Amino acid sequence: MFYTLLQLFILFFVIFDPLLSFVVFFGATAGMSPQEKRRTAILAVTVAIAISLVCLIFGEGILKLFNTNINDFKIAGGIILGILGIKMALGQSDSEMVMGNKRSAKAIASLIATPLLTGPASITAIIISVHDYGRLLTAIAVMLVLFITLVIFLQAPRITRFTGETALQVTSTIMGLITLSWGIMFVKAGLGM
């Protein structure tokens, strides 16, 4: 059980990618007061938790509603994870496109919550993990990652003193390769390989 939880934690840490979201959060909140930054961080993680809970509780029901099955979803999700992994490994980011010109605390929080934290890849991974490993282990792993994300956001000034752009890029590349491998695994599982 602990090994499975560790695997799920690593999967969701890679997919939610708190480090990428941190970079966007830090850049987008640069002109805000410490109180606004704190409020934005808490709101972003709260929205991500709400989206995750909906997927945890109703995920497979949503699949049935749209007349698809878990194997089809694994293949589709694996493709999304693969694309995300390739982009991360190559150092490509959609953060500027995602943020656009919206700079209010609510706009920044909602855009960090989704699609950066809980985008298609995260939603896919949650639904598949609930099916394969159960709701409890998936929920624990997701909530641990989101709690760590909140801590990272709240400690932004301290973190940026110790890390540079190069360290974040290297970490993102490694996480991209892991994400790509999970995508391949999901596709293979969907195909019954």
Q: What does pTM read for this prediction?
A: 0.72
* pLDDT for position 170: 74
Residue 95 one-letter amino acid: S
Residue 54 one-letter amino acid: V
* pLDDT for position 98: 45
> Which of 139, 143, 142, 137 has the alpha carbon at shortest distance from 1?
137
pLDDT tens, position by position, 153-182: 999 777 767 776 667 667 767 777 877 887
Residue 97 has pLDDT above 50, yes or no: no
Q: What is the domain count for the chain?
A: 1
List the domain range (segments joined by +) for residue 83: 2-25+33-191
pLDDT tens, position by position, 179-192: 788 788 878 988 88
pLDDT tens, position by position, 64-86: 888 888 788 778 877 877 887 78
Counting DSSP H helices and E strands in the chain, the numbers are 10, 0
> Which of 34, 13, 42, 3 has the alpha carbon at shortest distance from 121?
13
- Residue 141 and residue 72 in contact, taking contact as beta carbons nearer than 8 Å: no
Higher per-residue pLDDT: 50 or 71:
50
pLDDT tens, position by position, 98-148: 444 445 778 778 777 877 788 777 888 899 999 999 999 999 999 999 999
